């Protein structure tokens, strides 16, 4: 990529924690960046939007543990920009709300480096909103103040006007103040704020880890200690806190809130499943155990595509099979008109929909979604002497071609794709299991089971210890059988062998 003598820096607000709350402009800046410099509070999922070649640098600050000092962060940004690179500085919340974005912008201006400010949704507003606390309300308050709960320690004296804050009567929002909660409460009451004033702390607001503790100035310190609440937290003080009793929505409507679930699907397919679980409140760890790749030898698939006119039926047993078949068809210069004479069968609704995306409506969709059901559906068809093309995974179960052959069909089974082990998330997985944070692991195919096991430590006692208290959820009986064969205790098996069915089964499990 060609660059000018000086690059450009985008100071981007990453939002309050929920990756869906970043702005469209913020996403654009991540996608165009040569370098992404990101903070502790910037959601990791946002990094998936970067280009493959982008450099990623973590400079987070957590509880006094600073990866880089602010001065070194400034130097880093300047250095990269002066190399002619596009730098996206991804900051939690909004860059200009206690985010030190102003300091970084001053440095860039002093060095004549072009920059752009991209505002973000600040946690000061978003965390209370997700806790059901409106910061302003006509019947309660018409003003709101944002205050740092952690002033610059090098200051000679505080610039916080405690008397004015105590007397204003408006809503007070303190950021980064959980360690100083007792001090904040004491100062407000010393200056006249009543001890009966409602107060709340919201930890990890807008995320699946959100936790809210409410009380009054008299009681909030003890309640926070009892709950074990730690940073990052937003402190809200004022009468609006009482509205949470009526309009709390996020925590009440998320049946999987507080649950951490490992998704082992291939990265290209995981997004819909992760989105569904996230909407229900789960914190998802994306741990692809497989990746889908073209077969080592595409000649059999190419021959079948060249001879499509000789087939009567085209049968798909997965979304991947559909995608890889059509990808190869298009690469060879063909299109869907080549399929006009064919009847089609699919294994389930997801595969049916994917086939329909290419403009082809399936003639057979079985009632339950496994190879045996496809076989049963074909018993109602006259396939004797018919030619069937079955493009699918190289390592797929043999039951379908075997049974169709017994019915008198001529079956050509060709590899449309292979699944390879993906160990890119092995370190993340091991760290999560070691920390005890994982509540459940999900398996969506036999290959995800086998490759997940391969990511665990080779020492069996260590692997068993890591997985001991983790529930296992399977998409269907075939996957469950594989999981048991590999030594896993399976707690959930979906009745409907789809992502939707698995999601419903997971909800039912945690409700029980």
Which residues are part of the catalytic machinery? 39, 61, 176
Query: Are 200 and 216 in contact, with CB atoms under 8 Å apart?
Result: no
Which is nearest to 287 in space by CA: 270, 275, 310? 270
> How far is 30 from 303, CA to CA, in rounded Å?
43
427 Cβ contact partners less than 8 Å away, ≥ 6 residues apart: none
Whether the CA torsion 411, 416, 418, 424 is positive or negative: it is negative
| SS3 readout for 113-147 | CCEEEECCCCHHHHHHHHCCCCCCECCCECCEEEE
Query: Are 85 and 66 in contact, with CB atoms under 8 Å apart?
Result: no
Going from the C-alpha of 42 to that of each of 39, 123, 430, the distances in angstroms are 5, 11, 22
Tokens found for residue 125: 């507003």
Query: Are 414 and 314 in contact, with CB atoms under 8 Å apart?
Result: no
Tokens found for residue 300: 């059999």
Query: Are 33 and 66 in contact, with CB atoms under 8 Å apart?
Result: no
Strands annotated E in 331-468: 343-346, 387-393, 410-421, 440-443
Number of other residues whose CB lies within 10 A of the CB of residue 409: 22
Helix (H, G, I), strand (E, B) or coil at 29: helix
Helix (H, G, I), strand (E, B) or coil at 474: strand
> How far is 237 from 217, CA to CA, in rounded Å?
8
Residue 305: CA count within 13 A, CB half-sphere = 22
Going from the C-alpha of 360 to that of each of 102, 164, 321, 412, the distances in angstroms are 55, 69, 14, 21
- Looking at the DSSP bridge assignments, the partners of residue 8 are 86
Sheet containing 171-175: which strands, arranged edge to edge? 144-148, 171-175, 233-237, 198-203, 211-216
Query: Are 106 and 77 in contact, with CB atoms under 8 Å apart?
Result: no
Which is nearest to 209 in space by CA: 48, 47, 17? 17
CA 218 to chain centre: 39
């Amino acid at each position: 990529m060609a660059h000018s003598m000086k690059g450009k820096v985008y100071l981007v607000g990453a939002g309050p924690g929920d990756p869906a709350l970043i702005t469209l402009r913020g996403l654009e800046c991540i996608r165009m960046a040569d370098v992404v410099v990101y903070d502790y509070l910037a959601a990791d999922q946002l990094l998936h939007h970067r280009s493959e070649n982008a450099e990623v640098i973590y400079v987070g600050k957590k509880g006094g543990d600073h990866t880089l000092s602010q001065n070194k962060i400034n130097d880093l940004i300047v250095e990269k920009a002066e190399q002619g690179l596009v730098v996206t500085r991804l900051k939690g919340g909004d860059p200009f709300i206690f985010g030190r974005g102003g300091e970084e912008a001053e440095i860039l201006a002093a060095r004549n480096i072009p920059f752009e400010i991209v505002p973000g949704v600040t946690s000061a507003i978003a965390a209370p909103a997700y806790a059901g606390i409106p910061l302003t309300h006509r019947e309660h308050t018409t003003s709101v103040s944002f205050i740092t709960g952690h002033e610059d320690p090098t200051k000679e004296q505080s610039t916080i006007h405690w008397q004015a804050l105590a007397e204003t009567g408006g809503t007070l929002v303190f950021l980064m103040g959980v360690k100083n909660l007792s001090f904040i409460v004491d100062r407000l009451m010393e200056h006249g704020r009543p001890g009966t004033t409602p107060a709340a702390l919201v930890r990890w607001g807008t995320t699946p880890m959100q936790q809210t503790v409410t009380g009054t100035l008299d009681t909030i310190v003890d309640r926070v200690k009892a709950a074990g609440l730690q940073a990052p937290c937003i402190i809200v003080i004022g009468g609006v806190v009482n509205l949470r009793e009526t309009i709390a929505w996020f925590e009440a409507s998320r049946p999987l809130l507080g649950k951490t679930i490992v998704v082992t699907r291939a990265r290209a397919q995981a997004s819909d499943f992760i989105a569904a679980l996230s909407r229900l409140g789960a914190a998802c760890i994306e741990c692809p155990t497989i990746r889908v790749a073209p077969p080592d030898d595409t000649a059999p698939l190419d021959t079948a595509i060249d001879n499509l006119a000789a087939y009567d039926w085209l049968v798909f047993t997965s979304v991947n099979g559909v995608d890889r078949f059509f990808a190869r068809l298009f690469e060879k210069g063909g299109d869907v008109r080549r399929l006009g004479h064919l009847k089609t069968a699919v294994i389930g609704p997801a595969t049916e929909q994917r086939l329909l995306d290419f403009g082809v409506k399936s003639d057979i969709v079985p009632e339950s979604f496994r190879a045996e059901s496809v076989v049963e559906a074909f018993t109602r068809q006259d396939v004797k002497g018919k030619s069937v093309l079955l493009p699918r995974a190289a390592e797929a179960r043999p039951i379908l071609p075997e049974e169709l052959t017994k019915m008198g069909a001529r079956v050509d089974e060709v590899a449309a794709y292979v699944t390879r082990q993906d160990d890119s998330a092995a370190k993340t997985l091991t760290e999560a299991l070691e920390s005890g944070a994982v509540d459940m692991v999900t398996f969506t195919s036999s290959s995800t089971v086998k490759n997940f096991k391969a990511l665990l430590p080779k020492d069996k006692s260590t692997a068993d210890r890591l997985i001991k208290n983790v529930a296992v959820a399977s998409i269907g009986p075939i996957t469950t059988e594989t999981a048991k064969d590999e030594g896993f205790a399976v707690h959930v098996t979906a009745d409907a062998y789809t992502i939707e069915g698995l999601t419903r089964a997971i909800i039912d499990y945690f409700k029980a």
